[in-house]
Amino acid sequence: MRRGVKFDPVSLASGVVIAALGVLLLIDSAGGFHVSVGWMGVVLTAAVGAIFVLSGLHRGNGGKGP
C-alpha cells in the first residue's frame, strides 16, 4: 500500500531560502544589479544560519527533521 507524502516544514523552508538565493544570483548574473562580495557573505551566512536554526528548532520541538 502506498504511504502518503509527509509534509516537512524544514525541507520546505530550506528550499525556499535556497531558491531565493538562486534568484538573487540569477539577477546578479543578468546584470539587474550587482551584489558585492561583502553582501554575498551576509546573504549566504544568513541563509545557512536560518536553515540551521529551523532544523534545530524543529528537532528540539519533537520533529524528526529532514
Partner 1 sequence: MSAEGRGGPLTRDTRRGWVAGVLAGIGDRIGVDPLVLRVGFVIAAIATGGLLLLAYLIAWAALPAEDGGSAFVARLGRMPRGRGDWRVAVGAGLLTLSALLAFRQLGIWWSDALAWPLALAAFGVALLWVRSPRRAPPAAERPATPISAPPGRQVPPRRAGSRLAEEYSGAFGVLLVVGAALLFLSSNHVLGGIRDAALTAVVVIVALGLILAPFLWRLGRNLAAERAERIRSEERAQMAAHLHDSVLQTLTLMQKRADDPREVASLARRQERELRDWLAGDGAGDAGERTLASELRAVAEGVEDDHRVAIESVVVGDCKLDDRAEAVLGAAREALLNAAKHSGDSGPIRVYAEIDDAGIALFVRDRGAGFDPEAVAEDRRGVRESIVGRLERAGGHAEVRSNPGGGTEVAIEIARDGAAAKGRS
Which residues contribute to the site for partner 1 (CB under 8 A)?
Answer: 36, 38-39, 41-43, 45-46, 48-61, 65
User: C-alpha angle 45/24/40, rounded to 5°?
Assistant: 35
DSSP code string of 20-56: HHHHHHHHHHHTSS---HHHHHHHHHHHHHHHHHHHH
1 or 33, CB closer to partner 1? Answer: 33
25 or 46, CB closer to partner 1? Answer: 46
15 or 52, CB closer to partner 1? Answer: 52
CB of 51 to partner 1, least distance (A): 7
